[in-house]
Amino acid sequence: MNNQQVIELTQRYLMSTYSQLPVAFVRGEGCRLWDADGNEYLDFIGGISVVSTGHCHPRVAAAICEQAGQLMHTSNLYHIPPQAQLAKRLVELSFADRCFFCNSGAEANEAAIKLARKWAGINRSGECFGIITAKQSFHGRTLATLAATGQEKYQKAFRPLPPGFTYVIFNDVGALEEAISGQTCAVMLETIQGEGGINVPDDDYLPRVRELCDKRGILLILDEVQTALGRTGRWFGYEHADITPDIITLAKALGSGFPIGACLAKEEVASAFQPGDHASTFGGNHLACAAALATIDVIEDESLVANAAQMGSLLVKLLTDELSGIEGFDHVRGRGLLLAVQFTPKVSAKAVQDQCLAAGLVVNATGDDRVRLAPPLMVSEADCQEAVAILADAVRKVAGH
Ligand SMILES: *Cc1c(COP(=O)(O)O)cnc(C)c1O
């Protein structure tokens, strides 16, 4: 099949939930992708912050193949060796004491929401189910995580949504303080808002939120589905704020592309879950956990967290230098390898995205006026230079000079 044939099949047989770019990738290696017509691309979105170790890293691919030939799935009715090992690794890397595994970011957040409510039922008196989230947040597409997502446009066709969620302006501690009531059991935030536009909070925001949660006896849940595992130049986004959350959720980068999600918590909170409270058929099966274990090994052995920090700084510098003269460019923001290039309203991000794709660079327009960059964590200096040159050309073309 060539690109066009895949597009025709998609249009004929799939529900139209996505507005897809007219390309079908068939092969990947590191930061490179090839489409069904044989064209080569430099991938600067990495499957939306998923392909952490690069496409088809030989160690991750080998781990998956080996596990697939040995045992893929038994269900959580029985003990699962790679799941136990993966939980140990994640606990050693993070603030957490215990893990629950599932298959996606939304499911990880569902687990976090249920855990917070179960915890509140045990530790707090009265009706205490409220969860405060931020406007412009993104927590997933299931009904509860959609309710948690503070964006009207995603919610409106699907009401009624599960109750108990209220929204406050991100990066405003005062607003949060006002929103907390006797019914609040948790605050749930991204450490950097991803889908909402790569919004990095002020340095004192998360520390002050932590203090506030402690003072009011409520849990701090951090949705690190996009920010964890090196993406921001540290293993976890909360490390930049030097705080300890109560619960975090992971997914995107954890399996290098193999679907897996996780909810991690401190012992005092995790212990609220008892047998029967929560479950997932596929969650943490042998195959997914083998992929995640290999992913963590590669991130560690190849120093990809440090590389993300270095390449992130380099990208910000290159982008600022290259784009500054171009009318229509506003600024670059983000942290590590989670960046947004912000344009003025004159420049359409979609047009820049399309122009880049035609020139062999994959980026993502996350809104009318900004493009998101989230390359694999193993991206090189030469890759960054090439990407910035293509992007600058694209912006010049779109801006009309
Ligand atoms: C992508 C994302 C999710 C949803 O993850 P899915 O795997 O699509 O369910 C939730 N929260 C954040 C912060 C995300 O970036």
* pLDDT per position as a tens digit, 360-397: 999 999 989 999 999 999 999 999 999 999 999 999 99
> What's the CA gap between 118 and 134, in Å, rounded?
22
| 221-273 residue pLDDT tens | 999 999 999 999 999 999 999 999 999 999 999 999 999 999 999 999 999 99
Taking the CA of residue 137 as reference, the ligand 1 atom at the shortest distance is 13
Tell me the best of 226, 254, 258 to mutate to test the pocket of ligand 1, counting ligand atoms within 8 Å of each CB and taking the most. 226
Q: Return the pLDDT at 289.
A: 99
Q: Six-digit token pair at 226?
A: 């996009």
Pairing status of strand 329-335 against strand 338-343: antiparallel
In degrees rounded to 5, what are phi and psi of residue 25? -80, 140
Q: Six-digit token pair at 35?
A: 């489409």
Please, are residues 115 and 278 in contact by the beta-carbon 8 Å criterion? yes
Return the exposure string of 121-143: e unless at least 16 CB atoms fall within 10 Å of the residue's CB, then b.
eeebeeebbbbbbbbbbbbbebb
> What's the CA gap between 354 and 360, in Å, rounded?
10
> What's the CA gap between 60 and 64, in Å, rounded?
6
Instruction: Judge if the beta carbon of residue 256 lies within 6 A of ligand 1.
Output: no
Q: Work out the number of other CB atoms within 10 angstroms of the CB of residue 345.
A: 9
Residues recognised as catalytic: 138, 223, 252
Q: Return the pLDDT at 367.
A: 87
| 172-231 residue pLDDT tens | 999 999 999 999 999 999 999 999 999 999 999 999 999 999 999 999 999 999 999 999
First-residue to last-residue Cα distance in the chain: 38
Cis peptide before 160 (omega within 30 of 0): yes
Instruction: Judge if the beta carbon of residue 144 lies within 6 A of ligand 1.
Output: no
Q: Return the pLDDT at 343.
A: 97
Question: What is the CB-side half-sphere exposure of residue 1 using CA atoms within 13 A?
Answer: 13
In the block, which residue shows the tokens 């290098």? Answer: 256
| 309-341 residue pLDDT tens | 999 999 999 999 999 999 899 999 999 999 999
> What's the CA gap between 97 and 272, in Å, rounded?
13
47 Cα–ligand 1 center, Å: 12
| 55-105 residue pLDDT tens | 999 999 999 999 999 999 999 999 999 999 999 999 999 999 999 999 999
| 11-42 residue pLDDT tens | 999 999 999 999 999 999 999 999 999 999 99
- Please determine, for residue 157, whether its predicted confidence score (pLDDT) is greater than 90: yes
Please, are residues 133 and 116 in contact by the beta-carbon 8 Å criterion? no
Q: Return the pLDDT at 400.
A: 87
HEC per residue, the chain: CCHHHHHHHHHHHCCCCCCCCCCCEEEEEECEEEECCCCEEEECCHHHHCCCCCECCHHHHHHHHHHHHHCCCCCCCCCCHHHHHHHHHHHHHCCCCEEEEECCHHHHHHHHHHHHHHHHHHHCCCCCCEEEEEECCCCCCCHHHHHHCECHHHHHHHCCCCCCEEEECCCCHHHHHHHCCCCEEEEEEECCECCCCCECCCCCHHHHHHHHHHHHCCEEEEECCCCCCCCCCCCCCHHHHCCCCCEEEECHHHHECECCEEEEECHHHHCCCCCCCCCCCCCCCHHHHHHHHHHHHHHHHCCHHHHHHHHHHHHHHHHHHHHCCCCCEEEEEEECCEEEEEECCCCCHHHHHHHHHHCCEECEECCCCEEEECCCCCCCHHHHHHHHHHHHHHHHHHHCC
Pairing status of strand 261-265 against strand 329-335: unpaired
Tell me the best of 252, 338, 372 to mutate to test the pocket of ligand 1, counting ligand atoms within 8 Å of each CB and taking the most. 252
Instruction: Judge if the beta carbon of residue 384 lies within 6 A of ligand 1.
Output: no
- The full length of the chain comes to 401
Instruction: Judge if the beta carbon of residue 226 lies within 6 A of ligand 1.
Output: yes
Please, are residues 114 and 277 in contact by the beta-carbon 8 Å criterion? yes
> What's the CA gap between 376 and 304, in Å, rounded?
9
- Please determine, for residue 401, whether its predicted confidence score (pLDDT) is greater than 80: no
In degrees rounded to 5, what are phi and psi of residue 206? -65, -40
Q: Return the pLDDT at 38.
A: 98
Q: What is the pLDDT of the chain when averaged over all its residues?
A: 97
Tell me the best of 51, 137, 139, 191 to mutate to test the pocket of ligand 1, counting ligand atoms within 8 Å of each CB and taking the most. 139
